[in-house]
Amino acid sequence: ADVFTYDPGFTSTASCDSTITFIDGDKGELLHRGYPIDQLAEKSHYLEVCYLLLYGELPSSGELEKFENTITRHTMLHEQMQYFFRGFRRDAHPMATMVGVVGAMSAFYHDSTDISDNSQREIASHRLIAKMPTIAAWAYKYSIGQPFVYPRNDLSYAANFLHMCFSVPAEPYHVNPILSRAMDRIFTLHADHEQNASTSTVRLASSSGANPFACIAAGIACLWGPAHGGANQACLEMLKEIGSPDKIPEYIARAKDKNDPFRLMGFGHRVYKNFDPRATVMKQSADEVLDLLGVENNPVLATAKELEKQALADDYFSEKKLFPNVDFYSGIILEAMGFPTSMFTPIFALSRTVGWVSQWKEQLADPHHRIGRPRQLYRGHTLRDYTDIENR
């Protein structure tokens, strides 16, 4: 009989060759096409990082301008898609709406579903990156009963997203450039993260030859889980539940208790065993944004900082190498900007779209790629004869 390697959770199985993103979990290093994330977060911006992930090199100014124009040209949704949004219950979670709407794109954009055609692949990539902010913003608007706000192509990618979320037809939202920079940085920090669960889902879906919209919808569905992208929502809800720094020891004790399923959300990572470099940038950004908004003595930020301090000083967390991850501070920034917790994971999804798309393109271009088909170790019954119902 065949012998298969058992690797639950794929901790030691490489599923592909890739040249996009490199992580050294012991050093806390994250590189996109060789460039460290802290330099990209500091000096670059989201659309430039999108170009880098998609095409492998930083763009010249002409290349960047052309790319930005292309993305800007695709921000509107097919008008008929509004009816698709309107079919959902108002109280639907925006992630539920996004999974449905993105999957439905293959019913609207027939000229970009043929994966054997390079130019169709290219158009699908651009459409997904350009339309995802509109889709996320509309899922939000629908959930709060406000009219959909159309994209504005004179604004930057991040500013346009804030506009679509917070403007109403009666009154435009004036986008503060510092907030739009902070938004852009959140997008940049989430842009790609090699073969995480949602990216692997996109690759596995794509391995069957499924169309790009179906593959990205599968990635969004996977991201939603609280162990993955759903952790940012879960983390802020946890911080609010803790409420004040004096309650922290109780929650730390629960996280350490083997008989309690509670975990510190925003803590721990499969690959980072020293620190998550994205969390370092996010923490700085949280301070800047709260300062700008004049939020002094924010109890959630105070709880987060104290929780981080106490957890890091605790043997349980240091022995298991558990540190704050990207989701630990992002929610504090998003909430200060005015987003409800239900929008945190949609924002992660829109940021990660470029990563999914880049990995999808890389996979299709790989001459070794074939359908993904994990094997199993069968532990069930051996052969037995069918028993008639009256004899059971």
User: 3-class SS at 29?
Assistant: strand
Instruction: Please state the closest distance from residue 325 (CB atom) to ligand CMC, in A.
Output: 4
Task: Copy the structure tokens of residue 287.
Answer: 């301070």
Residues 310 and 346: their CA atoms lie apart, in Å, by 30
CA contacts within 13 A on the Cβ side of 144 = 18
Q: Considering the rule CB under 6 A, would residue 229 count as an interface residue with ligand CMC?
A: yes
Q: Tell me the window of 89-97, 128-136, 258-266, 361-369 that interacts with ligand CMC (CB under 6 A).
A: 258-266
Q: Is 369 in the site for ligand CMC (CB under 6 A)?
A: no
Task: Select 211 or 330, whichever has its Cβ closest to ligand CMC.
Answer: 330
Sign of CA dihedral 77, 177, 64, 214: negative
CB of 11 to ligand CMC, least distance (A): 7
Q: Which residues between 194 and 223 bind ligand CMC (CB under 6 A)?
A: 196
Active site (catalytic) residues? 269, 327
Smallest Cα–Cα separation from 224: which of 319, 35, 107, 95?
A: 95
The pairing of strands 35-36 and 21-24 is: unpaired
Give the Cα-Cα-Cα angle 309, 313, 315 (nearest 5 degrees): 145
Count of residues that bind ligand CMC according to CB under 6 A? 20
Selection from 390, 343, 388, 363 nearest residue 133 by Cα:
343
Q: Which DSSP state fits 107?
A: G
| 322 is a site residue for ligand CMC (CB under 6 A) | yes
Show the binding pattern over residues 326-345: x = contacts ligand CMC (CB under 6 A), - = does not. xx------------------
Task: Tell me if 247 contacts ligand CMC by CB under 6 A.
Answer: no
Binders in 5-44 for ligand CMC, by CB under 6 A: 9
Q: Minimal distance in Å, beta carbon 318 to ligand CMC?
A: 12
**Of the candidate residues 142, 267, 275, 356, the single one contacting ligand CMC (CB under 6 A):** 267
Say if CB 94 and CB 139 are below 8 A apart: yes
CB of 196 to ligand CMC, least distance (A): 5
Q: Is 265 in the site for ligand CMC (CB under 6 A)?
A: yes
Cα separation, 162 vs 180, in Å, equals 7
Residue among 10 and 65 whose Cβ is closer to ligand CMC: 10
Question: In terms of CB distance, is 196 or 280 closer to ligand CMC?
Answer: 196
264 binds ligand CMC (CB under 6 A): yes
Cβ at position 312, least distance to ligand CMC in Å: 13
Q: Does 263 bind ligand CMC (CB under 6 A)?
A: yes
Q: With contact defined as beta carbons under 8 Å apart, do 148 and 136 qualify?
A: no
Conformation bin of residue 266: beta by default, left when phi > 0, alpha when psi is -120 to 50? left
Applying CB under 6 A, the residues found at the interface with ligand CMC are: 9, 196, 227-229, 231, 255, 263-270, 320, 322, 325-327
